[in-house]
Each structure stands twice: as C-alpha cells, then as structure tokens.
C-alpha cells in the first residue's frame, strides 16, 4: 500500500519557539492532505485541509496564524506550530488520500508527538 511519512516523530521544544512538522506521500501524489490533532485519550480531530497550490482550509476554532500550513509540492505538506505553548502539546497526524480508479483510500502518517515545555 501507499506510504505517508512524517518528520520528526517526536519533538520537545521550549515555550515560544516554532516547530515544523513535515508530511510526505512517498509513492503517490497528493493534491490534498489533512492535518489532525489528538489529545490524550481523545479521538482525532481535523485541524485543517492542506491544498497544493492554494491556501489551506482551517476548521472552526483552529488559528490559522498559529498553525501555518504550506503545501509546497504534490508530495509535501508542512505544519508549523508558531510560538508554541504547553497547551499545544499533542499528537499531530497527517493523512493523504490516494485517488484510485474505483476507490479513494486515505493513508496516514505515523504521527508526531509534540511536547512544549
């Protein structure tokens, strides 16, 4: 099956710094990628939809100036958490749909654990 990678897998940073998370589709092109956030013992919640060549679409309550998304190519989307605070500590997962002849399937990255001290 298709593979989606994320980097880094784990990051610890100081409050006030910015952190960039990369999401790559390794063997297929993805014009759309999705970013999710998961707090402990909670389900995944969609943060934003990343669109190649255009602005990202953010879900209600997600600050676009805080969570910067750049879909630079058909295989790469980045999420930058700016001026991170401890409440931003969470598990961030990206996904990318692979278009098929008869079906679309979403593939998930392994996730990035962000801890803000």
Partner 1 sequence: KQEVTQIPAALSVPEGENLVLNCSFTDSAIYNLQWFRQDPGKGLTSLLLIQSSQREQTSGRLNASLDKSSGRSTLYIAASQPGDSATYLCATPGNTPLVFGKGTRLSVIA
DSSP annotation of 26 reads: S
Rounded to a whole number, what is the distance in angstroms from the first to the last CA of the chain? Answer: 37
According to the binding rule CB under 8 A, does residue 90 interact with partner 1?
Answer: no
Q: Backbone phi, then psi, for 88, in 5-degree steps? A: -85, -10
According to the binding rule CB under 8 A, does residue 28 interact with partner 1?
Answer: no
Q: For the CB of residue 22, give the shortest distance to partner 1 in the complex, in Å.
A: 14
DSSP annotation of 53 reads: T
DSSP annotation of 54 reads: S
Q: Looking at 16-24, 65-73, 81-89, 96-104, which segment touches partner 1 (CB under 8 A)?
A: 96-104
According to the binding rule CB under 8 A, does residue 65 interact with partner 1?
Answer: no
Query: Which of 13, 22, 28, 46: binder of partner 1 (CB under 8 A)?
Result: 46
């Amino acid at each position: 099956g298709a593979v989606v990678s994320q980097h880094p897998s784990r990051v610890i940073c100081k409050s006030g710094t910015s952190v960039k998370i990369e999401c790559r589709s390794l063997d297929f092109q993805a014009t759309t990628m999705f970013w999710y956030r998961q707090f402990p013992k909670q389900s995944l919640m969609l943060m934003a939809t990343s669109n190649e060549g255009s602005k990202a679409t953010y879900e209600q309550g997600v600050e676009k100036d805080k969570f910067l998304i750049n879909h630079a190519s058909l295989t790469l989307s980045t999420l930058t958490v700016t001026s991170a605070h401890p409440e931003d500590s969470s598990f961030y997962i990206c996904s990318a749909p692979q278009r098929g002849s008869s079906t679309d399937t979403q593939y998930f990255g392994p996730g990035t654990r962000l801890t803000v001290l």
